Structure 1
Amino acid sequence: MKKTSLAGACLLALSLMMGSGAALAKTPPDQLIIGMNMNNLLTLDPAAMTGNEVVGIVVNLYDSLVELDANQLTNVKPALAKSWDISPDGKVLTFHLRDNVRFHSGNPLTAEDVVWSMRRILHLNLAQASVWKSYGFSKKNIDQQVSAPDAYTVQITLPKANDPQLVIYSLAALGNLGVLDSKTVQRHERDKDWGNHWLTTNEAGSGPFILETWQAKDVLRMKRNPDYWRGEAKMNRVVLRHFQESQTLRLMIEKGDLDIASNMAISDINALRKDPQLTVDAVQRGTMYYVAMSMKEAHFANPKVREAVRYLIDYQGINKALMPGYGVLHQRPIKAGMPSTLPDPGYTFDLARAKKLLAEAGYPDGFDTTLRVLSDQPYLNIAIAVQSTLMQAGINAKIITGTGNQVYGAMRERKFDILVGRGGSGMEPHPHSSLRALVYNPDNSDAAKLTNFQGWRTGFYDKQLNEMIDSALLERDAQKQIADYQAIQIRYDQLIPAMIPISQMVDSVVVRNEVQAYQPHPSATTFLRDVWKVDEGDKG
């Protein structure tokens, strides 16, 4: 109640000022002021971070070995590594570092810091270890697999056969190998925690900005690093402010008290599209909105029932009415825009076909079930739309809303019937990034607890499909690899999977026109070092 009252008081005060004709101050010309919801901003530790919001902060405090070009994701650009080599057998990656980089502490950045940072990820075994574990790295082998032959050379030996280009994409896209100042972090270790407690609210990077302060669910300030190896960032300071209510964000950016607003409700974003002082920047992410069924549940273990559900979703209606600003129609597990991504299969709502399939499955009158969903939008509206069309075929799905832990927790425990959610990686510009998250399931046993694999969560398993995914990853002929990934999509479709993609995520950010060179990054690694502002009065 207290938060609501404070938000209401803030809105009232602002409206009174507007009504009286009082002008609110513009943001300082040398500062970038960003409004966002910080509820999911829980730690600044690159090894422990979760969610896109913190990635966008970490990549401005730390540098990584390489970066992805926001305009062409398959273009890997040098960063701390000025060049790199892949051994002929594809097993060893060698990175040649710059020798003129210093951390914010003044300590020189060397290969030992890179090696220590990567070892730390696996030894801590927190959120960001999962991708590296899927490549075969572990707490047991990481110390042998990563080494520093000299002060400015890093060698990564892959523990198992892989596509080395995918590993390089991961180094660039994930933000988790922001290189840490190992000497500084080690001074702040507590009970052998690799500095995790200290790095929750502090940083030890070499990036274009230095953390000044972070007050949880209030404000985070970063100041320009005067000794940055690329040259000083254009803005003297970046300030991120927490706003719980989308309406408050809308009011603040309309009046010029914010330069950028993110995490806004689509209704407010659409209203702001008409403002000539503002631009809505939309970037397509690799994650998918989906309808998932549990094959541990008797009804959905039957492929005819799953196929019936496939034809009981109004994909076109949902995407037209509910998803503008949130997502775009997509029905494949591999994200759009990849050379290997097949065109959508073109599924549409077909009640007669669905009823015929249900009758053949032994459910001519349908059945009762439950549908779990987050209480946020657009998830809830998608669930209501799906509930409505399922009901037309006699499938009565009771909606159960909850928090992320409640909804996805039930999915991780494989204790759900139907679920509307969003997931998948797609951060790296490689088909395996999507398949790893949404399809791959090497061990379907309950004991395996492969909770990071959504294929395992739904109980969907096909030995041949797993083998096809493993084989495609190692294929060195580019055209043959594309054909292999297309064959995977065809087989996946024919197997009537338990997860039905309906829309690919779009992330929308509102930016004032004074802001120049701001480019939201598809992998959430949005760099702010080149952003600057122009006086609107000088633009004519």
Structure 2
Amino acid sequence: METKDIIIVILLVAVIAIGGAAGYYLTLPPPEPGKLAFSDLSISPTAVEAGHLVTITVVVKNVGGSSITETVPLLINGEVEDSQEVTLDPEESTTLTFTVNKTEVGTYTVVIGGLSGSFDVISLTLKNPNTIIVATIGEAESLDPAWAYDTASGEIIFNVYEPLIWFDRGNTDKFIPLLAENVPSVEDGTITNNGTVYIFKIRKGVNFTGYDAWGNLFTKELTPADVEYSFERAMVQDRSGGPIWMLYEPLLGVMHSRFPNGTIRPDLLNGTLIDQAIESNATHVWFKLKRPYPPFLQILSQTWASIVSKDFCVMHGDWPGTWNNWTLYNDPPRSPLDMYEVMCGTGPYMFKSWKHGVQITLVRNPNYWRGPASVETVIIKKVDEWSTRKLMFMAGDADIVYVPRAHAPEIEGLPGIRCYKNLPTLAVDAIFFNFNISRDSPYVGSGKLDWKRNSI
């Protein structure tokens, strides 16, 4: 031992001796208490069928200076679900494992040591094997193909009514026959007169089927006269803000039956131009266009070109097919079919009921010409709240739901669920220019390329 070390020891002993004599001692500080830190919370799987196990793990480490024994609770939706006691020395760590079995459908929030996560419990049981339940937003506006101009109405109409032709699967420019037996073409001579006449042969053996306003089942065979009536009726009705301008433009070269002030166009008053634009005989229907109009087949494949039964419409107070009084049926405040809330089409389903603000119910058409649909009933429910639609979907109370793009990650990856996204679709975006701008506006610019100075 060196001399300076001996001196330090002697001084320390002396200090202790003096301190003891004076009534106090110098001691080392106590170690810090034990303290648990949590990390790496894991929940697997994050979506599980009701009654199946979910495994929850978390890493626990003693970051304090002393050994510690503590009970670690597992909280599920704010309630203690389970707990484990852990004893750790300083810097020691361990992994805690919990297993949870939930039978009620829903989203469960997990909290351990300040860390949180969640898992979903879903039902894969087919509760209604003969029914498709759709939970979506909004509600149909109309049951009348000539009136409806919204997506919600179109979804109903396309299942009850049918047009002459339909898209060939995913092709937007190729068509297949539906109520017609042919898709007109120049090659087979059914598009003639330089593209201004389209000829359709109407399918035989197809029946309209639906319930009338008095609860009776109406059934009648489709005829070419019904097809002619369907288009003429739509042009007679021509409600304000409706879709029938898409028939007027190619057939008559005008946008509507009326001027902007609401008066009927003089050249249409006797109905001759409308009557001559669509003609029929015992087997065929043909359209005479004002000029060649390439999108005409696309127009004929949409809901507003659906074929209705003349007898069924007239039975419910609709236009009787006469021209001496057709203006009385022009631009009505409401469609007669909507006033009675009836539909009668040739499609795979029949309209059954409409509980406004709640749901629309369709039932299988037993007379469908392509054979009965595989599902007996379709119910379209109006459920505007996303969380409610999600719970219905997870519980098996809805088979198809509308999922906002922002909430798609909540559904993707759930067992037994298919998500279709980013499918090709047609969309129209519009940019409108305001020409009534003050010359003093700082954003007008000089007309030169001065975007740096005036850009926002």
Matched, 1:128 2:228: no
Superposition RMSD in Å:
3.1
TM-score by length of 1: 0.50
Segments of structure 1 that go 5 or more residues without pairing to the other structure are 1-14, 309-352, 359-363, 367-392, 396-540
| 2:230 equivalent among 93, 117, 135 | 117
Per-residue CA deviation, residues 497-539 of structure 1 (Å, 9 max, x unaligned), is xxxxxxxxxxxxxxxxxxxxxxxxxxxxxxxxxxxxxxxxxxx
Letter in 1 for 2:126: K
- Contact in 2 for aligned 1:295/1:301 (Cα 8 Å): no
Deviation string, structure 1 residues 202-226 (Cα, Å, up to 9, x no partner): 2121111000111122111111111
Query: 1 or 2, which has the higher helix percentage?
Result: 1
| CA distance in 2 between partners of 1:300 and 1:124 (Å) | 48
| Corresponding residue of 2:379 | 239
Residue correspondence of structure 1 range 36-115 to structure 2 within 5 A: 36-39=136-139, 41-83=140-182, 84=184, 85-104=190-209, 105-115=218-228
Tell whether 2:309 aligns with 1:181. yes
1:209 matched to 2:349? The reply is yes
SS of aligned partner of 2:285 = strand
Letter in 2 for 1:97: I
- 1:131-210, aligned counterparts within 5 Å? 131-137=246-252, 139=257, 140=268, 141-148=273-280, 150-158=281-289, 160-163=290-293, 165-172=294-301, 174-189=302-317, 192-193=328-329, 196-199=335-338, 201-210=341-350
Q: How does 1:19-418 map to 2 (within 5 A)?
A: 26-39=126-139, 41-83=140-182, 84=184, 85-104=190-209, 105-126=218-239, 127-137=242-252, 139=257, 140=268, 141-148=273-280, 150-158=281-289, 160-163=290-293, 165-172=294-301, 174-189=302-317, 192-193=328-329, 196-199=335-338, 201-262=341-402, 264-282=403-421, 283-298=423-438, 356-357=450-451, 364=453, 366=454, 393=455, 395=456
Counterpart mapping for 1:415-434 below 5 A = none
The alpha-carbon distance between structure 1 residues 190 and 300, as it changes in their structure 2 partners (threshold 3 A), is farther
> Within 2, Cα distance between the matches of 1:250 and 1:268?
10
- Larger-gyration structure (1/2): 2
Query: Alpha-carbon deviations, 1:412-461, whole Å to 9, x = none?
Result: xxxxxxxxxxxxxxxxxxxxxxxxxxxxxxxxxxxxxxxxxxxxxxxxxx
Question: Within 5 Å, which residues of 2 pair with 1:502-521?
Answer: none
SS of corresponding position for 2:291: coil
1:214 and 1:291 map into 2 onto residues whose CA distance is 38
Indicate how the Cα distance of structure 1 residues 143 and 298 shifts in structure 2: closer, same or farther if over 3 A, else same: farther
Q: Which amino acid aligns with 2:173?
A: T
Alpha-carbon distance, 1:108 to partner: 1.0
Per-residue CA distance 1:264-323 (angstroms, 9 max, x = gap): 322222321121322222333322345533223346999976999xxxxxxxxxxxxxxx
Distance 1:302 1:234, change over 3 A: farther
**1:209–1:222 contact (8 Å) kept in structure 2:** yes
Shift in CA distance, 22/147, structure 1 to aligned 2, threshold 3 Å: closer
One-letter identity of the residue aligned with 2:284: T
1:356-381 CA-to-partner distances (Å, cap 9, x unmatched) read 237xxxxx4x5xxxxxxxxxxxxxxx
Q: 1:32 to 1:17 in 2, by over 3 A?
A: closer
Mapped contact 1:27–1:259 kept (Cα < 8 A)? no
**Structure 1 294/221 Cα, relative in aligned 2: closer, same or farther at 3 Å?**
same
How many residues are paired up? 296
CA distance in 2, matches of 1:251, 1:213: 25
Name the SS for the 2:425 alignment partner: strand
- Distance in 1, matches of 2:382 and 2:233, equals 30
Judged with a 3 Å threshold, the aligned counterparts in structure 2 of structure 1 residues 292 and 28 are, in CA distance, closer, same or farther, namely: same
Opposite residue 244 of structure 2, the aligned amino acid is A
Contact 2:122 2:395 in 1 (8 A): no
- How many angstroms does 1:22 deviate by? 10
Match of 1:399 in 2: none
Check whether the contact 2:299–2:305 (CA below 8 A) recurs between aligned residues.
no
1:162-182 Cα distance to aligned partner (Å, 9 max, x none): 23x42112101x211110011
Task: Call closer, same or farther: CA 1:300–1:57 in 2, change over 3 Å.
Answer: farther
Unaligned runs of 5+ in 2: 1-102, 109-120, 185-189, 210-217, 258-267, 320-327
Q: Distance in 2 between matches of 1:218 and 1:115?
A: 35
- Residues 198 and 304 from structure 1, CA distance in 2 versus in 1: closer, same or farther, beyond 3 angstroms? same
Amino acid in the other structure paired with 2:414: D
Structure 1 Cα separation of the partners of residues 442 and 160 of structure 2 = 50
1:30–1:266 distance in 2 versus 1, CA, 3 Å: same
